[in-house]
Amino acid sequence: MRTSYIGILVFLLGTLLAPITSYTQSDSFYTDGRKIVTLREVIVRNKLDVTAFIDRVKQDTSFYKAFRNLRVLKYSSLNDIQQFDKKGRLKASWHSRTRQHRKNGCRWTEILEEKTVGDFYDNDHRYNYYTAELYASLFLANDTICGETNIVKGIEFNTRGKSRIAKHKEQLKMLFFNPGKKIPGLPLMGNKMAVFEEDVKDLYDFEIDMDLFKGEMCYIFRLTPRADLSSSEKNDIVIDKMTTWFRTDNWQMVARHYELSYKTGVYDFEVNMEVEMTNFRGLVVPKTLRYNGNWDVVFKKREIAVFTATLFDFEE
């Protein structure tokens, strides 16, 4: 049953923040098929190629590429995971500093400093929480892993013919690195994550803006549920907010924020995630990742957790 719970947690992760502000007379509108996209005044003035930009958002793999770049680099990480009970009291935590080493096409993680509180580990020194297991699968190579690359061209996400654990990992990749696309095998979800497909995108408002993100001018793509949805339509919403920042010169992703929520008889969750990128010798890599999640699976204790990963000291 352990892997099934991991699979549910996998589903919870992945996609973002920044509310839609009121329209002005200077705003404009663009039609993408039947979809109307709001263009802020600054976008109109700068004459952005809106068709190309929207296609880029739909097809973007740069986020996925940034995380795959971690497979071919050495780097250090500050790790902070905190688990809470329903009353907000700390149950367990893990603070550590790790270093990923890489040699001869293989990589492995060394724990340089570590401090735990509570029952973070079980008696066999395995993770006692599924949130911790998920974090480890993202940033820690506890065993030596060889033969990986950072190539994304030609790679397709699918779960056919995979073991349960491998399937859950693939679902995580799809949700985390390819938001807005249908994810096969997720219970009771159907097509609800596919926000760019015709039967789903009409539930959302799209907006393109331009502003500074930590001192860098960026194009901003915002996605929020329409304000006039019926009760039944609201039940089909999974992505509550999604905001992505792109550099204006090359449309490279700078940051992405997510807010997700969903409730069924089997599980419910509320998850917020923020990811920021940096550039190392021409490779875009994650710099910080912040997660705040509250999820519950039937027959399993609710997990309320916060974690932060801070990556630095990249080397080839």
Instruction: Please give the pLDDT value at position 187.
Output: 61
Instruction: Please give the pLDDT value at position 278.
Output: 95
Residue 8 clears pLDDT 70, i.e. is over it: no
Specify the amino acid at residue 299: F
Place of tokens 């390819």: 178
Q: Do 127 and 140 contact (CB within 8 A), yes or no? A: no
Range name among 7-11, 125-129, 228-232 with the lowest pLDDT average? 7-11
Residue 160 clears pLDDT 90, i.e. is over it: no
- 2-12 and 130-139 helices cross at what angle (nearest 10)? 70
Helices then strands (H, E): number in the chain? 8, 13
Does the CA dihedral 65-30-40-205 come out positive or negative? negative
Token pair for 138:
């993202």
Instruction: Please give the pLDDT value at position 41.
Output: 82
Q: Which residues pair with 239 in a beta bridge?
A: 260
In terms of phi and psi (left: phi > 0; alpha: psi -120 to 50; beta: otherwise), the region of 235 is alpha
Specify the amino acid at residue 211: D
Of residues 117 and 158, which shows the higher confidence score?
Answer: 117
206-216 pLDDT, tens digit per residue, is: 999 999 999 99
Helix, strand or coil for residue 245?
A: strand
Neighbours of 254 (CB within 10 A): 23
Residue 236 clears pLDDT 70, i.e. is over it: yes
d(CA 137, CA 155): 20
Q: Do 192 and 200 contact (CB within 8 A), yes or no? A: yes
Q: Do 297 and 5 contact (CB within 8 A), yes or no? A: yes
Residue 159 clears pLDDT 80, i.e. is over it: no
Specify the amino acid at residue 291: Y
Residue 7 clears pLDDT 60, i.e. is over it: no
Residue 134 clears pLDDT 90, i.e. is over it: no
253-308 pLDDT, tens digit per residue, is: 999 998 988 887 777 888 899 999 999 999 999 999 999 999 887 667 889 999 99
Q: Which residues of 75-97 are buried (b: 16+ CB within 10 A; e: fewer)?
A: bbbebebbbbeeeeeebbbbebe
Residues in the chain: 316
Range name among 77-91, 110-124, 149-163, 171-185 with the lowest pLDDT average? 171-185
Q: Which residues pair with 81 in a beta bridge?
A: 94, 307
**Backbone φ and ψ of 235, nearest 5°:** -70, -15
**Whole-model pTM?**
0.82
Instruction: Please give the pLDDT value at position 10.
Output: 46
- Quote the mean pLDDT of the chain: 83
Mean pLDDT of 8-27: 42
Residue 153 clears pLDDT 90, i.e. is over it: no
Q: Do 83 and 307 contact (CB within 8 A), yes or no? A: no
